[in-house]
Structure 1
Amino acid sequence: MPVLATLARVHVDDLDAALPTFVELTGEEPRVRFTYRDLELAVVGGYLLLAGTEEALAPYRDTHATTIVDSLDDVLRMTGRLGGEILEGPQEVPTGRNLTVRHPGGATVEYVEFSASLRPQAG
């Protein structure tokens, strides 16, 4: 289950207002921008920006990181083997499938397996 990337989660009030700072910091334009439930999200460099009201962001504040993996099924097997707790998912999301896990020791991580259209192409 190779980890392809880990994104720092940043909660913001206004995605359009926040994006120029993160574009400047990373030198990259947003790779992905989408809505999910009552949130607007964007991936810029190593950041996942989550924008919404305090109420909309509240359920996501306790998740420490978003990790992009090659196989969500491998994460499920590891979680069962090591005694983690599945908090949400697996489920379909705009970027593919995700799963949120509380691991032994207390770390809460969202795992995402990107859909084929978002995976880097060999070339």
Structure 2
Amino acid sequence: MKILKSYTRVYVHHLNATLNRYQQLLSTTVESRFKYPQKGLELASIGNLLLISGNEDSLRPFRTTQITFLVDDLDEFVVFFKQHHFQIIHPYQHVPTGKNITVKDPEGFIAEYVQHV
């Protein structure tokens, strides 16, 4: 059970313009970019940022999630969450990059955990 990377979420309406700015600010290039048509979103990762783009209606359900953790074995994390009284906000599901779950820890912090497949 290991967190491989953490991404600060940045919610945007204009992905291309935002990516251009952050590529210059971070002096790096986009690591991944994909569409999530079922949710009306497009996402891109650059450095430790996860840019999530869509209109206000499509972004609204995701805005309370504060961070995304890329993990090695999501099933092990789910066991940990149950043992430590995390509240499951969005149950285990398949997403374009693999599988994820969104949870709230006992202090109220909401995070998405993703395992790429």
2:24 paired residue number: 24
SS at 2:22 equivalent = helix
Matched residues, number:
115
Aligned runs of 1:1-123 on 2, under 5 Å? 1-36=1-36, 37-115=39-117
Gaps in structure 1 of 5+ consecutive residues: 116-123
Shift of 1:89: 2.5
TM-score by length of 1: 0.90
Cα deviation, 1:22-60, whole Å, max 9, x if unaligned, reads 111222211111111201100011100001111110000
User: 1-side partners of 2:48 and 2:21: how far apart?
Assistant: 13
User: 1-side partners of 2:40 and 2:31: how far apart?
Assistant: 20
Structure 2 residue identity aligned to 1:47: L
Shift of 1:105: 0.6
User: 2-side partners of 1:99 and 1:30: how far apart?
Assistant: 24
Shift of 1:82: 0.5
Structure 2 residue identity aligned to 1:60: F
TM-score by length of 2: 0.94
Identity %: 38
